[in-house]
Amino acid sequence: MSFHPARSRGVVFGFAILLLLLGAGVFGLIMLATDSISVWMVLWVILPLLSFPLSMVVGYRLYGLIAARYYLDRDGFFLQWGSAIEQIPIAAITSVDTAEALGVELKERGVLAWPGLVLGECENEKVGRVEFFASASADHLVVIQTTAHSFAISPKDREGFLSAFNSALRMGPLETIPAISKRPQFVQMVFKVDRMARLLVVAGVLLPLFLLGYLGLHVVGLPPEVPFGFDPEGFIDTFAPPGRLLLLPMIGGLCWLIDLVVGFWLYRSEKNRPLAYTLWAMPILVGGLLWGAALKLLSVI
């Protein structure tokens, strides 16, 4: 039988957080493009640098919640939460009960969780290490204890889940299924074993960072308006506040971030790894073009 966690509350809060982060990043870019040189310029640079990566993390957490499901049959228990997968043979499950019935108070130590999304781990004297894949508070948790460690889940139909487990336990397994535990660890895999990938990713992010530092040192002494565009004949046709020059490294950084995430997604498949390398190389090309544009603009001031 298939069960799902309650999603509506977590999805609403998640989308609200995602919109706030994206809004903060866009606001920082707008202010960076229009504001005059001041101490606030540092904040306008930091806003998109922090908000856009965080919005990707929140987006992935939202995807995990929307795609989450629990499946139970007489052979075992299956959990999918985003890229995390857990398959537990029925013989490896020692107990399934509510947190109240077990008399334990569980509180996760997760990162970037919100109301309606409960992820993380905790240690409990009675049930040991507990891993959370839930969308409800401790009052609505089902604790699955195994020979390895425990899992805290929150099926919407909690009583139906407990009844289904008891039925599966009484009937016994038809076959022995393998224990499977997968977590999204391809990021660590790439940086530990693939030197080429590591080189491309690091080079791609250093170019916009160095460009940001270089322009940051020069924009303070620039006039109120600087060239920011050329016509087809090569003559200056657009002027802008000096702070707009800082958009160049921001564009390079966003290009690197998008290519980084999509490249990691492609890297998981052996046949798509050449595409991943190509994506990770693109920020180097873009960074070189942006450096050329910045040096050309500064040379005509």
- 193 shares its domain with 214: yes
Residue 179 lies in a domain: yes
Same domain, yes or no: 176 and 199: no
CATH, residue 104: 2.30.29
Q: Are residues 215 and 137 in the same domain?
A: no
The residue among 169, 170, 141, 11 whose CA lies nearest residue 70 is: 141
Q: What is the pLDDT of residue 288?
A: 94
Q: How many domains does the chain have?
A: 2
Domain that holds residue 290: 185-301
For residues 221 and 279, membership in a common domain is answered with yes
Whether residue 138 is found in the same domain as residue 241: no
Residue 171 lies in a domain: yes
Q: What is the CA radius of gyration of the chain?
A: 25
Amino acid identity, residue 97? D
Distance CA 227, CA 235 (A): 10
Distances, alpha carbon 127 to alpha carbons 106, 154, 206, in Å:
10, 17, 46
Q: If you write DSSP's letter for every residue of 13-71 in order, what string do you get?
A: HHHHHHHHHHHHHHHHHHHHHHSPSSTHHHHHHHHHHHHHHHHHHHHHHHHHHHH-EEE
pLDDT of residue 14: 94
Strands 128-134 vs 118-124: parallel, antiparallel or unpaired: antiparallel
| Same-domain check for residues 175 and 189 | no
172 closest CA partner among 109, 246, 93, 236: 93
Decide if 76 is inside a domain: yes
Q: List the pLDDT tens digit at each of the 301 positions of the chain.
A: 889 999 999 999 999 999 999 999 889 878 876 766 665 776 777 788 788 888 888 988 899 999 999 999 889 999 999 888 999 999 899 889 888 888 777 777 666 678 899 888 888 888 888 999 999 877 789 999 998 889 999 999 999 999 998 888 888 888 888 998 887 665 555 656 678 888 898 899 889 888 888 887 777 677 777 777 777 776 777 777 777 787 888 888 888 888 988 888 888 788 888 999 999 999 999 999 999 988 888 877 6
Q: Which residue, of 183, 209, 224, is where some domain finishes?
A: 183
* 73 and 154 part of one domain: yes
